[in-house]
Structure formats: structure tokens, C-alpha cells
């Protein structure tokens, strides 16, 4: 059980770092958007690469932050019964949801995205727009990073559920950096 706990904490630590980094990208996204608006409407100047950069950042924030959001129980959930359920029932629901829904979904996305990303890398794909950003293949690679981070967090969620169902309710203390649940 200690190995499961260590694995869960390592995965959640990774997603914590990724989520906090993504949060800083939102600041960059807001500042770039502000610059684009000022340049366009005050000075009548526009740069395609600058406009694309905040769109790219928006996608990166969502994809890189998905695991972090799951770790902090921030994804949308229809929790009519879940909210009031005892911890063992919540753990059972989390385990079934992670194993039967989340992980197959992430694997399917990764399976479909892999050739899409590989072809993009083989072509060193750039923007279709004149003056756009050259590294579209890097942006498409974030799809695979999304699958890895969210899939790992699904495993961590399943690990937490297993520990709870095994009666190791105290396996995670407040100082373990465990996300709020």
C-alpha cells in the first residue's frame, strides 16, 4: 500500500507542477491578448503570429491543466448522490469511473492523436497563415501530453480509491500535499 501511496503522491506532484505552470500561461495569454487589442484598435497594426500565440496558449492551458483540475476535483460532475455519499462509496465511484470511463477515454484519444502528431512532426508543420507561428507540430504534441497527464491522474485517482476501499483512510494526511476532496 505504501507503493500505491508513493505513486499517487508522485503523480499528483507532477500534475501540481504542470497545473501551476499552466496557470502562469494564463497571465501570458491575457497580456498578449491585451497587446493584440491595443495594437489593432489603437495603432491599426496586426501580427498573425501574435494572435496565434494566445490561441495556442489557450489550448495549452486547458490540455496541460486537465490533470491538475482532476486532482483538485474541479471537473464537472453530476453529483446528486456523490456529494452526500460516505467516503467508501465515493471511492468506489471514483475507481469505477477512472477504470471504466476516464482511462479508456484517454487511451482512445492518445491512440487517435498519435498518428496525427507523428505526421505533423514528419512535416515539421507550421501555421497555414502567412506570418503565423512555425511550430504547429509542437502544439499538436500537447495532445499527447494531455493524455499522459490526465491518464496518470486517473491512475492516481484509482490508487486513492483503492487505498480508501482497503481501509487506509488515513493514508493521506494534510501535509502530504493531497488535493482537496
Residue 130, number of CB atoms within 10 A of its CB: 6
Q: Is 73 left (phi over 0), alpha (psi -120 to 50) or beta?
A: left
User: Given a cut of 90, is residue 67 above it in pLDDT?
Assistant: yes
pLDDT by residue (tens digit) across 89-126? 989 999 999 999 999 999 999 999 999 999 999 999 99
Give, rounded to a whole angstrom, the gap between the first and last alpha carbons of the chain.
20
Q: Note the pLDDT of residue 170.
A: 61
Higher pLDDT, 17 or 75: 17
**In the predicted model, what is the mean pLDDT of residues 32-53?**
94
Residue 101, number of CB atoms within 10 A of its CB: 11
Half-sphere exposure of 61 (CA within 13 A, CB side): 14
pLDDT range class, residue 174, cuts 50, 70, 90 = very low
pLDDT range class, residue 173, cuts 50, 70, 90 = low
Q: Angle 127-129-132 (CA atoms, 0-180°, nearest 5)?
A: 60
Q: Say what the pTM is.
A: 0.86
Identify whether the C-beta of residue 154 lies closer than 8 Å to the C-beta of residue 102. yes
Residue 163, number of CB atoms within 10 A of its CB: 20
pLDDT range class, residue 1, cuts 50, 70, 90 = confident
Buried b (16+ CB within 10 A) or exposed e, 23-50: eebeeebeebbeebeeeeeeeeeeeeeb
Amino acid at each position: 500500500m505504501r507503493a500505491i501511496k508513493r505513486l499517487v503522491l508522485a503523480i499528483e506532484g507532477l500534475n501540481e507542477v504542470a497545473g501551476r505552470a499552466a496557470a502562469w500561461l494564463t497571465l501570458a495569454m491575457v497580456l498578449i491578448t491585451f497587446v493584440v487589442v491595443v495594437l489593432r484598435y489603437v495603432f491599426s497594426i496586426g501580427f498573425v503570429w501574435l494572435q496565434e500565440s494566445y490561441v495556442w496558449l489557450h489550448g495549452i492551458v486547458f490540455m496541460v491543466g486537465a490533470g491538475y483540475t482532476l486532482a483538485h476535483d474541479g471537473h464537472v460532475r453530476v453529483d446528486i448522490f456523490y456529494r452526500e455519499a460516505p467516503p467508501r462509496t465515493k471511492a468506489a465511484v471514483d475507481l469505477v469511473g477512472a477504470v471504466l470511463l476516464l482511462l479508456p477515454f484517454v487511451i482512445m484519444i492518445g491512440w487517435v492523436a498519435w498518428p496525427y502528431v507523428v505526421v505533423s512532426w514528419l512535416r515539421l508543420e507550421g501555421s497555414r497563415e502567412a506570418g503565423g507561428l512555425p511550430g504547429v507540430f509542437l502544439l499538436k504534441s500537447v495532445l499527447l501530453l494531455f493524455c499522459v497527464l490526465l491518464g496518470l491522474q486517473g491512475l492516481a485517482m484509482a490508487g486513492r480509491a483503492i487505498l480508501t476501499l482497503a481501509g487506509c483512510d488515513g493514508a493521506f494526511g494534510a501535509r502530504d500535499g493531497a488535493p482537496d476532496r
